[in-house]
Structure formats: structure tokens, C-alpha cells
Amino acid sequence: MGKLKYDCTDCVGYCCSIYDRVDVWKKDLKRLARHFDITPAQAKKKFTRKVGKYTALKRKEDLIFEETCIFLDQTTRLCSVYDARPDTCREWPVHSGDRCVYYDILQFERKQQDDEDYVPVVEIKVLEEVEE
Ligand code: SF4
Ligand code: SF4
């Protein structure tokens, strides 16, 4: 893979914000527990919530999006537990090669608006939720 065509340090953390569910598995809990020097059970209680049958990271209010991941730093817009982040985060956006679709949108809109600070708010909704 060549040079990455996205730069998370020049982004606002779409991937951490627009998905309601960042899944957390046993391995992720162990990693988070090690990072905070607590037990996996404590990490589960402190940082996760149930979404249907899944265990996912908790979310918090955000300055740009309605909500974001509990671990997104509001000032840097970067992950505050980068080395201990769950596998789901580690795998994104690796499967889409050297690009990140949200970074492309960000750059596209900044060019359209002729404003290098412009931030389009992107939202992902599952169709059943829209129809409810
Ligand atoms: S949306 Fe893409 S560019 Fe932005 S932080 Fe996430 S991976 Fe990085
Ligand atoms: S753990 Fe870090 S990388 Fe993963 S969603 Fe939360 S802030 Fe983003």
C-alpha cells in the first residue's frame, strides 16, 4: 500500500462519531483494562453499554456531532486511548485501502466551499431507524 491519502490529524473524527456502535469484545476489554490499570469487568462497566445483543463503547455529547465516542478528545479530535483502542477502530479504514471515505468528503466540501476549515456534518442512519 502506498502513502495514505487521509490524515486523521486533519479530520474531526467522523469514524469515532457517526456510528452509534463501536463494538467491544473480550480482547478489547482486556486491553482497555490494562491501559487504565483496572479489571476487565470494571472496564466493561465504566466504558461500555449494551446495544441489543452487542457490547459497545459508551458515547458522550459532542461539540460537532450530536454524540461521539467516550474516548474522543474534544480539543484534538483524536483518540485519547489510541494504543488501547478496540479492534474495530484498529481495522478502520484499512479495508478501504489507502483512502478514508469521510476524509474524501471533508476535502471535497472544503474545496467546494473554498474554506479550509469547513466541516460538513455527516450522519449515518440505518433505514429501519428512519422508518420508525
Ligand atoms: S474519519 Fe477517516 S480521516 Fe477521519 S479520523 Fe476517521 S479514519 Fe481518520
Ligand atoms: S476508541 Fe478511539 S478510535 Fe475508537 S471510536 Fe473511540 S475515540 Fe475513536
59-61 vs 54-57, strand pairing mode: unpaired
- The residue range of the domain holding 81 is 8-131
Q: Is residue 91 part of a domain?
A: yes
The pLDDT tens digits along the chain (132 residues) read 678 999 999 999 999 999 999 999 999 999 999 999 999 999 999 999 999 999 999 999 999 999 999 999 999 999 999 999 999 999 988 777 899 999 999 999 999 999 999 999 998 877 765 555
Q: Is residue 1 part of a domain?
A: no
Q: What is the CA radius of gyration of the chain?
A: 16
* Shortest-distance ligand to the CA of residue 72: 2
Q: Is residue 70 part of a domain?
A: yes
CA–CA separation, 58 vs 86, rounded Å?
A: 13
Q: Is residue 65 part of a domain?
A: yes
Q: Is residue 43 part of a domain?
A: yes
**How many domains are there within the chain?**
1
Residue nearest to atom 2 of ligand 1 (CA): 100
Query: On the CB side of 95, how many CA atoms lie within 13 Å of its CA?
Result: 6
| 65 Cβ inside 6 Å of ligand 1 | no
Q: Is residue 2 part of a domain?
A: no
pLDDT at 75: 94
For 46, the grid coordinates are 465504566
Q: Is residue 92 part of a domain?
A: yes
| 13 Cβ inside 6 Å of ligand 1 | yes
